[in-house]
């Protein structure tokens, strides 16, 4: 299928483009490069042997989108969004404009062009503090701890309302848990600007000696070692989940919701230990106070994706650490 990939130069988008090319699809990237580099396109070509079409474009530019869409598409995967939780609390309007208005603008352009198959990057953040674990797709959503989380809840609602109004839409809401790692070649990966706010990129920099130590946010949660539990999932597994959704859901109208995780939780200290063991590098840490807005524990029930998409994550925490480290130590 010919697929428009918004945010396709970013972390998850670029790995998905690699998987799509590997599965015989034709991805076309649209990205405004607000959090990515154009050189990613060349890296994708190096990995796959195919250089995907690339347009530097903002999804809020409806006219520009329509021109790209004129070439004809079967589907769209919508990754483009701002994603820093901390930044979203400081600049909420920028987040609502980029993420929510950007999605509305994209949907208008897609509708005009007759593309009604959308795979959307949602997040486990829509569940808020889970009441039971593991988290299933039918658990209620509706409360977020920050504007970033609210944009995801709102965009899901926009998509549900659109599909109700026009049942010819086919929408997949993929709720990612904690995507980490990188392509095994070390050629593409996560490239946060400045000091990383997410755990694994932060650990990678500590292991590389670029940051002195990791601050572990909270040691008194009701978890096996007192530190937060998350469902870390390899970014290539997440990428393959997108291909599975595209292949399986084509032609099936409706709103389809899937968790993308491994179904296993790891504490912060387990991740630190796995990183040290995999890389042979020390990761000094200090336990500090809890980070506002963090939940104690979150991991996915992944049965629905397994049953309906025939998709299951196959890479373990050691592979996530090894690939993160390879990317950290590869020249950019
Ligand atoms: P990323 O920042 O690496 O990728 C997003 C890409 O979108 C970037 O390349 C950026 O330049 C582009 N972009 C942003 N706003 C744009 C706009 N208005 N027009 C065009 N391009 C724009 O982030 P990522 O980690 O790859 O995340 C991809 C998606 O997955 C996002 O929607 C994010 O909210 C969601 N998500 C990410 C995680 C995670 O842990 N990384 C977890 C859950 C959900
Ligand atoms: N975390 C931490 N130190 C850091 C970054 C994260 O202890 O510098 C913890 C955080 O409290 C959470 C887990 O690591 O328990 C995952 O956090 P991340 O920001 O990567 O993802 P989130 O689940 O918040 O989206």
Statement: residue 332 has pLDDT above 90: no
pLDDT score of 132: 93
CA of 270 to the centre of ligand 2 (A): 13
pLDDT per position as a tens digit, 237-278 = 999 999 999 999 999 999 999 999 999 999 999 999 999 999
Give yes or no for residue 217 CB within 6 A of ligand 2.
yes
Q: Per mean pLDDT, which range of 10-14, 129-133, 179-183, 304-308 is the poorest? A: 129-133
Nearest to 296 by CA among 214, 226, 215: 226
User: How confident is the model at residue 193, as a pLDDT?
Assistant: 83
Q: How high does pLDDT run on average in the chain?
A: 96
Whether the full predicted model's pTM is greater than 0.95, yes or no, is yes
Which ligand 1 atom is at minimum distance from the Cα of 148?
34
Q: Is the pLDDT of residue 153 over 90?
A: yes
pLDDT in tens, 82-124: 999 889 999 999 999 999 999 999 999 999 999 999 999 999 9
Find out whether the beta carbon of 329 lies less than 6 Å from any atom of ligand 2. no
In the prediction, which pLDDT does 191 show? 84
> Is the distance from CB of 151 to CB of 207 less than 8 angstroms?
no
Q: 260 φ, ψ to 5°?
A: -115, 100
CA–chain centroid gap for 139, Å, is 20
């Amino acid at each position: 299928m010919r697929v428009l990939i918004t945010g396709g130069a970013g972390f998850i988008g670029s790995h998905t483009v690699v998987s799509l090319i590997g599965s015989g699809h034709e991805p076309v990237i649209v990205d405004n490069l607000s959090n990515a580099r154009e050189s990613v396109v060349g890296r994708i070509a190096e990995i796959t042997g195919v250089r995907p079409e690339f347009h530097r474009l903002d999804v809020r530019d409806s006219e520009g989108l329509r021109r790209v869409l004129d070439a004809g598409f079967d589907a769209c995967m919508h990754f483009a969004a701002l994603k820093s939780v901390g930044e979203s609390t400081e600049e909420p309007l920028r987040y609502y404009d980029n993420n929510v208005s950007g999605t509305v603008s994209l949907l208008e352009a897609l509708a005009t062009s007759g593309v009604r198959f959308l795979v959307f990057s949602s997040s486990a953040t829509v569940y808020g503090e889970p009441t039971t674990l593991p988290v299933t797709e039918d658990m209620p959503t509706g409360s977020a701890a920050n504007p970033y989380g609210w944009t995801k809840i709102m965009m899901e609602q926009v998509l549900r309302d659109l599909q109700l109004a026009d049942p010819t839409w086919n929408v997949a809401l993929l709720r990612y848990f904690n995507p980490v790692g990188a392509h095994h070649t070390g050629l593409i990966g996560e490239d946060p600007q400045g000091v990383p706010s997410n755990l694994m990129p932060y650990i990678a920099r500590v292991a590389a000696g670029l940051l002195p130590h990791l601050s572990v946010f909270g040691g008194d949660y009701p978890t096996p070692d007192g530190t937060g539990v998350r469902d870390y999932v390899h970014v290539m597994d997440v990428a393959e989940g997108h291909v599975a959704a595209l292949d399986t859901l084509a032609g099936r109208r409706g709103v389809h919701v899937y968790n993308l995780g491994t179904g296993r939780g790891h504490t912060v200290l387990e991740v630190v230990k796995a990183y040290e063991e995999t890389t042979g590098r020390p990761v000094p840490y200090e336990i500090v106070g809890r980070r506002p807005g963090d939940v104690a524990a979150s991991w996915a029930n992944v049965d629905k994706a397994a049953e309906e998409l025939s998709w299951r994550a196959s890479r373990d925490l050691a592979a996530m650490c090894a690939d993160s480290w390879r990317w950290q130590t590869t020249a950019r």
